[in-house]
A and B are shown apart, each in its own frame.
Chain A
Amino acid sequence: MADDMASRYQMMEELGSGSFGTVYKAIDKANGEIVAIKHIDLESSEDDIQEIQQEISVLATCASAFVTQYKASFLKGHKLWIVMEYLGGGSCLDLLKPGVFNEAHVSIVCQQLLQGLDYLHSEGKIHRDVKAANVLLSNTGKVKLADFGVAAQLVNIKSQRNTFVGTPFWMAPEVIQQAGYDFKADIWSLGITAIEMINGEPPHASTHPMKVLFLIPKNPAPRLEGPEYSSTFKDFIAQCLTKDPERRPSAKELLKHKFIRNAGKTEALQELIQRKQEWDGCRGISKDVKYYAETLKSISKPSVEDEDEWVFDTVKAPTMRTPSKNPSMWVPNGTDWTTLDEDDESPDPSQLMEDMHISQLPKPPKHQANSTVRRTSGFERSPSIRRANTKRRSSGVKQPLGLDLSFGNSPSTVRQFRRVSDRVPSEAVPPRSSHGLDENTSPKVITGDSTSKEAQLGRRAYSKAIGMSCQEVLSTTGDGEKREAISRLAEAWSDLEMVDPEGLYHIIRVMNERLQADSRLSALQPDSPSRPRLVLAQNNPHLKSHRRRQSTTEPPPQSPLSNLPGQQVSGMEHTKQLSDVLYQRWAEGLRNRWGF
């Protein structure tokens, strides 16, 4: 039955992906409608499937023109497919890439968002993660709230939540303080989003998100300042960013605000979409389109040697699904147990044909002159945090919820799907801040100076070692999830090689040094290469960034596997820190509540 559902859709290109799965564009064959389908691999999700179901039930009970419409969900093998309305205009965060919005645009978006929030709030739902990245536009400029990864359903209209979810920069003070919060938390986030749209980034964007968690409750609420903004706009922001949630107006009240009442028509937002398209066009961004291809299940099937099957008594058993009063009848005999649950994900040839990457084309530079966010190294728009229980009980009795707030690829934390254009593969690239100058120059220049010795070595390292090792490991890895991770890493390396071979070289070099510096890891290495050491210029940005990282965290000695470059270079140590702090905060909250 599930397969029937899946075959209803003609899968098309990938729209975006997160640690949690991938979103594809698809066509509903029944009516030709374009939809977005989120594929969630449940095998990679350790947390309770029930939480995902919860998310679906929140989605399924929403029907509003201001909220992305849920259509259906079903299982295909161990993947959950969630069919949603397709919105072609992209997210507000995408649309901010060419430049900030003007006041008129912001007021339209806010007006639409307020209607969406008013709907959700009247339904007893809190979104909990309002930010530009979660605001989607249709091609015609319609504005819709998306991503209910962390939305909560309140049972009682007056009840409050105590969970700590959201994304630091956009979080309301009462959420951070875990004082118990309600709908008003979304209004704060809306105010932050308005600032984000007019400034290109939320307040404190250049601060480490960990620190932001302390700043938001401590500092006075952010304000919009400067003569270039109208006083009604400033007042709107001030209203949204009222620290006391009691005094913060509701969505309904804000809809009567002058700034909102004077908002124009949504069609005006088409300008933003057009601007983005032109901007993409100018930058030669022909999307690196990835098509959906069904995975070959056979790879992950364990090779079962017959001799290793369990030996059970050879009782003749009828088919195993026949209910029977006699318990000994339930058991299939030893030979047919492998036939359980055939997923039969055999590839559809037509789809495989479509699986052609346009990778022959020179890849566009992924570093975008992005005036929107000054990011701290590697920390790219912190993914939403959500509570999740990770470690399971051993005794079956539920222990107090464990928490895994580690970011990145941990499946349980992030339920956010970045849109492709936002998914800058620079995640595996040295901090972008170090490219400050290069970014604003034309793409040619980036590669133009990469003829240095380091760059050549970097290219060589890639072609001789990295690419092949990735291939090699990939070919010996059966598990689908791992394969995906490895190929992502390989892709990241390849991007890096193209954009910054010099940086690649330095990563390898530093990695090598560190491996050798560690007494246990160095044993793994073959004879240390007695290459002459290159002396680096003191102002080498890569060196600096490495120093900076080294000074912030001393990576703990780990197994060589978990110390692979992907981790080192991505700057994930920051998020690790953040997660530690969040964990502590959470644990404290828990202790208070449980009276430990």
Chain B
Amino acid sequence: MAFFFNRGRSRSPADVVRSTKDLLLRAQETPSTPKADEELAKQLGQMKVIVQGTQDQHLPEQVYALIQATLQEDLLYDLSRSIHLLPFEARKDTQTIFSHILRFRPSSYAPDKDPPVISYIVHHRPEILVELCRGYSHSQSAMPCGVILREALKFDVVTAVVLYDQSHEGEPAGRLSDLKPNAPQNGEGVFWKFFEWIDKGNFEVSADAFTTFREILTRHKSIVTAYLASNFELFFGRFNNILVQSNSYVTKRQSIKLLGEILLDRANYNVMMAYVERGENLKLCMKLLRDDRKMVQYEGFHVFKVFVANPNKSVAVQRILINNRDRLLRFLPKFLEDRTDDDQFTDEKSFLVRQIELLPKEPVDRSRPSRDAQSGVNTAAVA
């Protein structure tokens, strides 16, 4: 008899969805008025109560009805692109509504299957995901969109859609079934926009975008590994240029750390090997060691060590290390020497010193024969 006790707000979920939709469409076209804002906030507040339930009552059938109506009216799409237009509390409510709807599973649903709304979105309405990412273009919507996205990115299908989308604004986004995992990216899809949001956004936007970016790159390893392999140049080109050399201290430090995490992930072994054979990448790292901020140096060290520890160093890498051997042997013992309580760091440092001492006088090409020609070209280009 829920309707009886809820007389004050006895409107059905479908009604709430419909009026929210109308108000949203109006908000997108006309400048907001306090009255319209208030009405919109009220509707979203009601939706939140339905999806969230209260401490003492939670009605799955109501939630189910609400979700059906939401999909029918395509409300998630409209919400995703207008979060920045909403008033403060309504933005938070939208975040809650979205998160609950994305997570929702009817009790009959097999627990290993993706929730129904997630499946629906990746197959029929991937534009919702793209619009959520574009929420980073506005500081008002960055945080709520970030929270929703990270909720969605728990599912690998969502990660795939975000990584492979190449749609321009106003165009339909790529459906899951249309994605071509091995085709190289043109670098204009929504994933590549993250570099811009992280680099150009104000601190709050940039930091949240980075958190999502990190989530995309570290959560579903097999997808990411394949992606990085087929877009190696593009990805690390931007990563090195835009993020590692960012003017923002936080972006710089966080991205060096992320770089280390990506490279040292077992799943990314081939990516790591490709990265550490480039002399250019080593140079970048060595410059980080000489940054004037300790934590940047420290994060840089954890990438640098991979180059030195690699038993099959490319000729280019060997050459740089050999040319700088004396400098490195002078530099490393004094490097961050106040980290006396960090045994692991001290051990790793002395390991690197040993490795550098053991370097041959001249670069030795120990790489597999098939690689010879390739690294030869690299070296020539560098020299």
Q: Is the pair A337, B290 in contact by a Cβ cutoff of 8 Å?
A: yes
Q: Is B107 an interface residue (CB 8 A)?
A: no
Total count of chain B residues near the partner, CB < 8 A: 62
Q: Which of B208, B266, B294, B320 contacts A57 (CB 8 A)?
A: B208
Chain B contacts for A323, CB-based, 8 A? 237-238, 241-242
- B143→A302 contact, CB < 8 A: no
* B280–A327 touching, CB < 8 Å: yes
**Using Cβ atoms and an 8 Å threshold, which residues of chain B touch A559?**
340
B172 within 8 A of A: no
Chain A residues positioned under 8 Å from B327 (CB to CB): 308-311
List of B residues within 8 angstroms of A77 by Cβ: 249
B280 to A53, Cβ gap below 8 A?
no
Interface residue B89 (Cβ < 8 Å from any Cβ of A)? yes
Smallest Cβ distance from B326 to chain A, in angstroms?
10
A327 to B241, CA, bound (A): 10
B residues near A228, Cβ cutoff 8 Å: none
Over the window 275-300 of chain B, the binary record of Cβ atoms lying under 8 Å from chain A Cβ atoms (1 yes, 0 no) is 00011100110110011111100000
Q: Which residues of B contact A78 (CB under 8 A)?
A: 249, 293, 295
Chain B 226-255, CB within 8 Å of chain A: the 1/0 string?
000000010001101110010111101110
Contact A330 B240 (CB under 8 A): yes
The reply to whether A396 and B344 contact each other, CB–CB distance below 8 Å, is no
- For residue A315, CB closer than 8 A to chain B, the reply is yes
* Inter-subunit contact A56/B89 (CB<8 Å): no
Q: A330 to B290, Cβ gap below 8 A? A: no
Tell me whether B137 is interfacial, beta carbon within 8 Å: no
List B contacts of A123 (CB < 8 A): 92
Interface stretch of the complex, out of B29-37, B73-81, B199-207, B363-371? B199-207
Q: What distance in Å separates the Cβ of A477 from its nearest Cβ neighbour in chain B?
A: 11
In the assembled complex, the CB of B323 is this many whole angstroms from the nearest CB of chain A, namely 5
One of A21-29, A41-49, A284-292, A371-379 contacting the partner? A41-49
Identify which of B3-11, B60-68, B122-130, B257-265 touches chain A: B257-265
Q: Is the CB of A321 within 8 A of B241?
A: yes
Chain A residues 364 to 401 lying within 8 A of chain B, measured CB to CB, are 391-398
Among A49, A60, A311, A340, contact of B254 (Cβ-Cβ < 8 Å) = A49
B53 interface hit (Cβ, 8 Å): yes
A-B contact count (CB 8 A): 140
Q: List chain B residues, Cβ under 8 A from A320.
A: 241, 245
Chain A residues within an 8 Å CB radius of B260: 396
Is the CB of A341 closer than 8 A to any CB of chain B?
Answer: yes
A225 at the interface (CB under 8 A from B): no
**A317-373 residues at the B interface, CB under 8 angstroms:** 320-328, 330-331, 337-338, 340-341
Taking CB atoms, residues of chain B closer than 8 Å to A341 are 247, 249, 252, 291
In the complex the two chains form, what is the Cα distance from A189 to B253 in whole Å? 37
Cross-chain contact A310 with B290 (CB below 8 angstroms): yes
Chain A residues within 8 Å of B, Cβ to Cβ: 1-2, 5, 42-43, 46, 49-50, 53, 56-57, 60-61, 63, 73-75, 77-78, 80, 123, 155, 157-158, 250, 300-302, 304, 308-313, 315, 320-328, 330-331, 337-338, 340-341, 391-398, 479, 559
7 nearest A-B pairs in the assembled complex, by CB-CB distance: A396-B264, A78-B249, A53-B207, A74-B203, A337-B287, A396-B261, A331-B280
Beyond contacts A157-B55, A312-B320: 12 other A-B pairs, Cβ-Cβ < 8 A, are A42-B250, A43-B295, A50-B211, A53-B208, A56-B204, A77-B249, A80-B203, A302-B290, A313-B383, A321-B242, A396-B260, A398-B261
Question: Can you list 12 A-B contacts with CB-CB less than 8 angstroms, sorted by A residue number?
Answer: A42-B295, A43-B293, A57-B208, A61-B143, A78-B295, A300-B292, A302-B292, A330-B237, A331-B284, A338-B290, A341-B247, A396-B262
